Chains A and B, each alone.
Chain A
Amino acid sequence: GENVEQHPSTLSVQEGDSAVIKCTYSDSASNYFPWYKQELGKRPQLIIDIRSNVGEKKDQRIAVTLNKTAKHFSLHITETQPEDSAVYFCAASNWSNDYKLSFGAGTTVTVRA
């Protein structure tokens, strides 16, 4: 099955700086890569996703890049704000086959004011 590894496990950044989280996956057939944000005590929510037919996607201050050859994808958050503090999970799936997501272990991001 798919194995997703996520790094770092914790990340502390100064407000206004950028944060980068990296994930690798094992199954070359995976073609859908979402990122979920989970604030303390709340449910995970999708913040951005990317499909394997594109290399980069951006939505305001967040962007995701995908390198299919190397089987890794990254989340970039620019101009970080205190409300960006949360746990971020990457995931991968082959949605042509089934719709099960394999999640990374999560990254706890703390934005220091």
Chain B
Amino acid sequence: GAGVSQSPSNKVTEKGKDVELRCDPISGHTALYWYRQSLGQGLEFLIYFQGNSAPDKSGLPSDRFSAERTGGSVSTLTIQRTQQEDSAVYLCASSLVGGRDFYNEQFFGPGTRLTVL
């Protein structure tokens, strides 16, 4: 079946502009995650949605970052007033959770490479 998809694949923007990154999770997956991966670095957790629960926003680096998930499916990560240090690959992942026997395999999307000039 279809995997996690993200759009755009690449985004170049000017400092100070707002950007929106989109993630389409695997159908039926209740959990959705956003990560940031700077060049040569690890995966930095940003935000996590699980069903109808309040999102875990503990990883968002500043109030310029926000995310929403509409209808329990598609998610949009918004970065306002972009800065050069926001340049990174933004990865989305989804997983099927629930019950003691479900392990937490996260399926990643291809990422959006954001470049802030």
Interface residues of A (CB under 8 A from B): 1, 6, 32, 34, 36, 42-46, 49, 51, 89, 93, 95-96, 98-106
Contact = CB atoms under 8 A, between A and B. Distances in A.
Contacts of B111: 43
Which of B33, B35, B43, B45 has the largest number of chain A CB atoms within 10 A?
Answer: B43
Contacts, number: 59
Contacts of B103: 32, 34, 49, 51, 95
A32 B104 contact: yes
A100 B108 contact: no
A44 B56 contact: no
15 contacts: A32-B104, A34-B104, A34-B106, A36-B108, A43-B91, A43-B109, A93-B104, A98-B48, A99-B31, A99-B104, A100-B48, A101-B33, A101-B104, A103-B43, A106-B42
Given A100-B48, A103-B45, A106-B41, 5 more contacts: A43-B111, A49-B105, A99-B50, A103-B43, A105-B41
A99 B105 CA distance: 10
Contacts of B70: none
